Structure 1
Amino acid sequence: MSETTPTSFTCDLCGGTEASLFLEKRGARYLRCPECDFVFSDQGPEAGGAANHAYFEKALATYVAKAYSAKKQRAYRGKLRAFEPYRKTGRFLEVGCNVGGLLYQAREMGWNVQGVEPVEACARWAREGHGLDVQACFLEDADLEEGAFDVVYSNAVLEHLPHPGRVIARMGRLVRPGGVVFADTVNVDSYTWDFVGPDWKLVDPQVHLCLYTPRTLRRYCEEAGLRVVKVSTHGVRFRPNHAPALSGGARLMEEMRKLPWSLKTRYSLRGDSIAILAERPLT
């Protein structure tokens, strides 16, 4: 599993041309770049595309009900407050906006919103259901003004991309100088991965084409010319009573066990999801 084997795959992050096998699951593989530790699927760009579209179209009513529920709208409102210090032009873009739940709340809070969503059924509902400005395409193909947005936001998007570097770079170009890019994605360097390993449902090389760590996601943002403001992690789906396999020493782990899981994931960067906030420099 740890043998290094030459492959025809080029690391999207550093350009390395060799990779070691990270894991194999359901007839597909994750590879790890030995140069930068980025983990990526050996499946092509089309992997999971048709299945994802069919899934979202079938579950559209469920997503609409959840995204526009009072509970979810309150949660969106809380998330959006964090971006108030960056409001200048008032323009807010969401990449992978699904049915537009967060964009709807952002508009309610006075933002001038736009969205990009590759699943046509979701984009159409956002447009026709609530009059949101949502383009049904990938970000690379979207007709958007560069350097114009205060905030470019994405959640649960980067893990689905075969070439995330291109998307993060364009997100960086779309935001104005002094504006911010925000992304939330899967953290493969998490407590859940330590305990569950390949059985973790978020680890699926046919659907999630890339897996990040705080370090590799930071590097992606820096490669795009962004200045990282904050990196944090959150969430844990597996809560063991003890953790002998984790690094850091027995005494440290004993102290960690006494803390609430929310604090453990926040300060150890070992939560299931990574959230990164990065600013486009003024000069």
Structure 2
Amino acid sequence: MALPHDPLWPRAASLFSQKSENQADVTVVGVPASQTSLSPTSAHQTPNAIRQALQRYSTAHSDPRVNLEKVSLQDAGDITSPDSDEVVAISELKSIAAKSSLVIALGGDNSITYCGVQAMQATGLITLDAHYDLRDGVSNGSPVRRLIEAGLSGKRVVQIGIADFSNSTEYAKRAKDFGITVIPRSELRSKNIEDIWAIALSVAGDKVFVDFDMDVCDRSVVPACPAAAPGGISADELRQFAFLAGSSPSVIGADITEIDASKDSADERTVRLAALVVLEMAAGFSTRP
């Protein structure tokens, strides 16, 4: 990627030092999973695509509270894929989380949410997702069900952006039976994002993992997400949620999932949006008290 160099316009990628043994405020880590996906995908290629997209952005932000220079940011590289050994992947993520206040896992398909919550020992989960992810079996459609069956309380799970015509009544019933708080896409049209986030945090509790399944967005802004539908949330709404997640002290981890970088548009709009989710979370983190 040949990009111009301007010493007065530092690139966001320069903020992320390579992996070290030191404590970091925010650590990004690749989790290249794709083999259990319900739709054929090359999502394992996406972590590096997001890293490349960080080259496209600067370190500046309009919020005067934001100062990325005061946040220690680290890139831990890629861990073992949970497709090959989920137990090892969880162990490696756990080691990274022990040395970071906020871990952002770059997926990979949505199956990695199981690893993230388990590794960070989160007691609450907020998903931004068009789908419930409550299917049977082990796939990118099952992490929420697997987590609840592994001990996560459904009453500490909030699902934001669940889309009409993208789920079934049986899985809606399953969500209700588990005690999950569902905030459908339709509800976002009439409520303030900050108010919705406050509700989600009040339900999820004090050790929260946030799943940014990018197919929650409108298909026009995430063409590399196979299951995205027209009418999802906007890129700007997603970025607002990312900033709020980063700024919330109770959020200890997050993931960005369901992008197949090999299917992105020529302008790379999907991975560019994913890179902005990383930056908005880091920006939000810099405003924490």
Coarse TM-score class (shorter-chain normalised): 0.3 to 0.5
**Structure number with larger C-alpha Rg:** 1
What TM-score comes out, normalization by structure 2 length? 0.34
- Bigger relative contact order, structure 1 or 2, given CA contacts below 8 A and separation 6+? 2
